[in-house]
Structure 1
Amino acid sequence: MKSFFFSLAFLALTISSYAQDGGRNKAIYVEGLGSGLLFSVNYDFRFKPQQDGLGMRVGIGGGNLGGFDANVGIVTVPVLANYLVGTRRVAFEAGAGITPIYVKASAADLSTGDVVKADGLSAFGTLNAGLRLQPIRNGVVFRLTYTPIITGSGFLPLFLGVSLGYAFK
């Protein structure tokens, strides 16, 4: 488990150092739903100085779902390659990637009063296609994406993501 998170941290640092070139378009945004499931904060960058073309995003997200007798906490790390078509403020975005997920759950057994606990690490595939509004230089970025998820159990087609953040060079 430690080696997995060490590998993700190394990947994020490597990507971040590669993307430090001042001429490349970058964005930091918060996404609701989407590839991070409930909520995620993401760093997105282009591989070339142009607004369109191939890029990548790395994020961290999660949330806590709780009720009267159950509690589920999740941490997600969406990592996706994406491609933008459009050289102006409006672009079509398409991408694919993987989201590792750590889940920790506990629930009360009402019949015995015992607390049952479980945790585990898994991953799911994710796709996205949607609209991105992003300035040529600096300013507000908005994304609306269709984000189906692929798991070992099958294809979950009904997922959307909404993002708001800041883009800069």
Structure 2
Amino acid sequence: MAKLSSYCIAAGALLLLAPSAALAQADQAAPPAPEGQPAAPAAAAPAAAAPAKAESKEEENTKDKPAPNSVFAEGLGAGLWYSINYERRVIDDLGVRVGISYISVGATVSTGSASSSASASLLTFPITGSYLGVRSGKHALEVGGGVSVTYASAAAWASASGPGIGAYGNVMVGYRLHPVDGAGFQFRVGAMALMGPGFNVFGDDPRSFGVLPFGYISFGAGF
């Protein structure tokens, strides 16, 4: 019985000391607030939903992002008859295009035993910029312009021949269907004006500087 009583007394003492020890540890973990100031609140747990919100906002911004690269074949336009082009978006609303076009023609005339021939070729490098800031999804208004560098050569039988380098400007406005959020089909159509020597088709001197109303249409892909 004496031993049982000793055990009961020891267990009671432990029960009395346990809350005091826990309070002492809590006092050591959280230092008391300065006198006259309220105690500092406990640190709040980090919000778990913030990263998810940031990720969803980023996905929403990239969902409507135009394809940065495109290749297309253009009829008429800055290459005169046609051109094969590559365009790169330097920013989302501005694309820079570089293209190439080659045209070669020849003719031969015979009169009895004599004949004469002539040939001409034209190499064109259109370089333009297109602003596409007015758009809704894949549909956009295209406004731009640039310059086309030309290299022409001509030859005729029994006469001199020689190459020549020139350039002419252009401005354009039209409609563009451009893929967003990945690769897809691209389509362009609009009106254009060519400006430079030799485009004065409505004046007295066709070799002088003039403006020629023109158009363009293209099919390609963005990626």
TM-score range (shorter-chain normalised) is: 0.7 to 0.9
How high is the TM-score relative to the length of structure 1? 0.74
Letter in 2 for 1:134: H
Alignment of 1:1-169 (within 5 A): 25-48=68-91, 50=92, 53-68=93-108, 69-84=117-132, 85-108=134-157, 114-136=158-180, 137-152=182-197, 153-168=208-223
- Contact 2:67 2:178 (C-alpha < 8 Å) held by counterparts: no
- Contact 1:24 1:45 (C-alpha < 8 Å) held by counterparts: no
Describe the SS at the equivalent of 1:77. Answer: strand
How high is the TM-score relative to the length of structure 2? 0.57
Unaligned runs of 5+ residues in structure 1 are 1-22, 109-113
Q: How many residues align?
A: 138
- In structure 2, the partner of 1:13 is none
Deviations 1:112-152 (A, max 9, x none): xx244231001111111111112212111111121211103
Question: What is the distance in 2 between the residues matched to 1:92 and 1:65?
Answer: 36
Q: Relative contact order: is structure 1 or structure 2 higher (C-alpha 8 Å, sep ≥ 6)?
A: 1
Letter in 1 for 2:156: A
Deviations 1:76-115 (A, max 9, x none): 111111101214222111111111100011234xxxxx24
Q: Which has the higher helix share?
A: 2
Question: What is the distance in 2 between the residues matched to 1:107 and 1:39?
Answer: 25
RMSD: 1.8
Identity across the alignment (%) = 33
Change (3 A) 1:67 1:156: farther
Larger Rg: 2
